[in-house]
Amino acid sequence: MVIAEVSIIPVGTGSPSLSSYIARCIKILHGKNIKFQLTPMGTVIEGEWDEVMTAIRQMQEEMFKHGALRVVTTIKIDERRDKQSSMQDKLNSVKSKI
């Protein structure tokens, strides 16, 4: 299981607004067997490695299909092998220490 934070930025769209592009990405995630959380600066995705990477690739391709001439994608991956960890586990760990 991995937790990945991804930020996909289409360039050359003719508009500074990105929300319609991001909405297309989120629609892709709705059809997957993975958990995700949209944030103001990116999207956090939780699932099996191949499923997460496939989803990210599909989201990037979606930008090109809808007019982007260039796409900049940033990915951070947290893979823990000593125990299972989820997005919620990470949040709960911090909250318990506040």
For residue 36, the tally of other CB atoms under 10 A from its CB is 21
**How high is the pLDDT of residue 49?**
95
Q: Which residues, other chains included, contact 17 with Cβ-Cβ below 8 Å and sequence gap of 6+? A: none
**How high is the pLDDT of residue 67?**
87
Please name the residue that has the structure tokens 């995705």: 45
pLDDT tens digits along 18-72: 999 999 999 999 989 899 999 999 999 999 999 999 999 999 999 999 889 999 9
The total number of structural domains that make up the chain = 1
State how far the Cα of 83 lies from the Cα of 20, in Å rounded to an integer.
Answer: 37
Which CATH number does the domain housing residue 58 bear?
Answer: 3.30.70.930
pLDDT tens digits along 58-73: 999 999 998 899 999 9
Task: Evaluate if residue 13 carries a pLDDT over 90.
Answer: no
| Domain extent for 45 | 2-95
If one compares 75 and 87, the residue with the highest pLDDT of the two is 75
CA distances from 65 to 4, 15, 59, 62 (A): 23, 16, 10, 5
**How high is the pLDDT of residue 74?**
97
Count of alpha carbons within 13 angstroms of residue 54, beta-carbon side: 10
pTM score of the predicted model: 0.88
